[in-house]
Structure 1
């Protein structure tokens, strides 16, 4: 009998060791699925590798538009900063040429590092799509780089470590709200030491993450982490203590531009979440069936994620909801374009993406054990929002072009609610 129990125990230990070894190998060698679509060189010309180059190319495309339409406005909003005197939100406004009925707002880099792809799409719209639609009653406002600090420094957040998509609100009570689920996870999410990728905690990170999933469930864990928090200023997904300068600066521009239009449609460009190489469409949750029907018509034939999936979570202080709240008298529609990178719809992809965000923030707050660690962490982080893969970039431009061509034309047919 004793021999039997010893055999069982040894077998159990071997199984556990095998599981640990297998999951550790998967985690540390993780790559999202390959993209098989053919690379179109013309799509790649819109991508640049620095914030300044993106800004320069945006202005070049904008100046080309100025010659084609009357009363075009090209300008920038200087953003207050304690560390950089050259941060601007840049924009072009092409007013409707005859009657002001519909306004399209195309925004990028609410999460700064995601601005590379957002900028490429905005450049493509100015170069290719504007000339193919009628601007008789459609105005277009393209806002480039809403979080210029994050864009310039390859971070999602501002210089105050604030996530603008958790910060945007007309109600100041948001900044004193408490995310209790996050509080319970704070010590796990925000390590207060220099980053070492070879530490046991990082090398076996997936084990700790799986333990949290088992304890809280994947849905509860995702909601607690990603919702937004307002207590831990050096923590991930910090929403700030007040409205950030970037959002405060862009608000009057949106309000003033929208003033003469009846219907306003904001498309906000993001990367990171979802299946690698896939464009996901996320509208704000709607109880208004009329608005929902109009959005479904605008994107007819494309899958819209209305938040009824297992991986759905809500955030507080998101930018597109905020935009609508600043123009309450307007008929307002919105859609978020999310270009997936790390297959975060899978458990392992989600764990990998979270780890990348955590160690990047930890490095900013507390430093790195070595320069090699710093380079690797920053590289992983950038790849999670701006993949270097030509196939990924080409497909992102292709998908954006196809969806936007339809969306803009169908938006022009959309009736305004009385």
Structure 2
């Protein structure tokens, strides 16, 4: 069966393929129902497949759909891993847990955020004392317009260029994307409280990962970098054991936002950071595997237009349908060569993680 066949055109198809592949592999399955109402009337859930001895001291843990519409990529990898029997490569000393569609609302509705407009990968903070993004008030009027017409993207581009000229590119990147906790209707909103998806992550980690000696985590993402290339982004701070292990496991083929070697800015409230903090006594080695799709200006345009659509537009209108197609294109390339690149890098990465766990 070709790799392309393991990818899906919708959340429902992806979930069905994942459940079928996991059941055929003999995995133990658990379902977490999301009570949010999806605009298309689809039942929403996060599904967890577990394989191996629950008493094994090490685990490979994968996530798809952290950023909803990015879930096509990670789901395709998880399905291929299970359906084509690669899960059998995992030694007896390592158990594996695959979390499918941790943000099912965003996956099903072709949005990056959750039902509460929360960016899940900015939600893992102390909301009683959230981080302050000092640059956000300056860039918010540029990136979150209340009206959308044929000239909006050009106006946005001009506003971004003016901000970059005055403050620098990385100041823009961090102001725009690092996370903000002021504007519930803005992009990259980290929420005012733990959302459903965060609480589900906490439940899954608490149930499956407590007491492990070693944990390798791979969180699948799309939207940054060259088309089809998978950047291994290390979330651990430099000069920490986790960072050292990740660089060792992946042969130095990894990047760090903290060292300026990544396409990603330094972020606040990341899921992988929280997992590392939560599992005291466990050697956590966590990366995000980030795949490029389209040029960054198109990705940002898709994000901002989708945000406008949620709060100001009409989903059923011609413009609404056009925006949703742009979101899909920004986070999923329905092309066989792209899917093959996704799978090749993912397979190499998961195999290297397994080697690291068993050294």
Q: 2:142 aligns with which of 179, 188, 203?
A: 188
**Aligned match for 1:251, one of 183, 198, 202:** 202
Separation in 1, partners of 2:161, 2:302: 16
In the alignment, which of 105, 127, 133 is matched to residue 172 of structure 1? 127
TM-score where L is the length of structure 2: 0.92
Q: How does 1:57-96 map to 2 (within 5 A)?
A: 57-66=17-26, 72-82=27-37, 86-96=43-53
Alignment of 1:104-119 (within 5 A): 104-119=60-75
Alignment partner of 1:404 out of 336, 350, 356: 350
For 1:249 and 1:404, locate their aligned partners in 2 and report how far apart those are by CA, in whole Å.
Answer: 24
Q: Which deviates more, 287-296 or 351-360?
A: 287-296
Aligned mate of 1:306, from 243, 256, 259 = 256
1:45 aligns with 2:5: yes
Q: Deviations over 1:146-204 (max 9, x none)?
A: 000001101110111110001123x23354x43220011111111112x22x2x33245
Taking structure 1 as reference, are residues 122 and 155 closer, same or farther at Cα in structure 2, changes over 3 Å only?
A: same
Q: Structure 1 residues 65, 231: closer, same or farther in 2, change over 3 A? A: same
Contact 2:242/2:283 (<8 A) preserved? no
Determine which of 319, 323, 326 is the counterpart of 1:373: 319
Output the aligned Cα RMSD.
2.1
- Give the 3 Å change call, closer, same or farther, for CA 234–93 of structure 1 in structure 2: same
User: Structure 1 pair 326/370, CA: closer, same or farther in 2 (3 Å)?
Assistant: closer
Q: Counterpart of 2:227 in 1: which secondary structure?
A: coil
TM-score, normalised to structure 1, is 0.80
1:275 match: secondary structure: strand
* 1:118/1:187 CA distance change after superposition, 3 Å: same
- Whole-angstrom distance in 1 between the partners of 2:300 and 2:164: 13
**Within 2, Cα distance between the matches of 1:328 and 1:361?**
37
Cα separation, 2, equivalents of 1:82 and 1:58:
22
Match of 2:217 among 248, 266, 274: 266
2:169 is aligned, of 218, 229, 233, to 218
SS in 2 for 1:270: strand
Check whether the contact 2:223–2:296 (CA below 8 A) recurs between aligned residues: no
Unaligned runs of 5+ in 2: none
- Unaligned runs of 5+ residues in structure 1 are 1-40, 67-71, 343-348, 414-418
Are positions 1:129 and 2:75 aligned together? Answer: no
Which residue of 2 is the match for residue 36 of structure 1? none
Query: Residue in 2 aligned with 1:69?
Result: none
SS of the counterpart of 1:323? helix
Given candidates 238, 260, 283, the residue that maps to 2:234 is 283
- Are 2:42 and 2:108, in contact at CA under 8 Å, matched by a contact in 1? no
Superposed displacement of residue 369, structure 1: 11
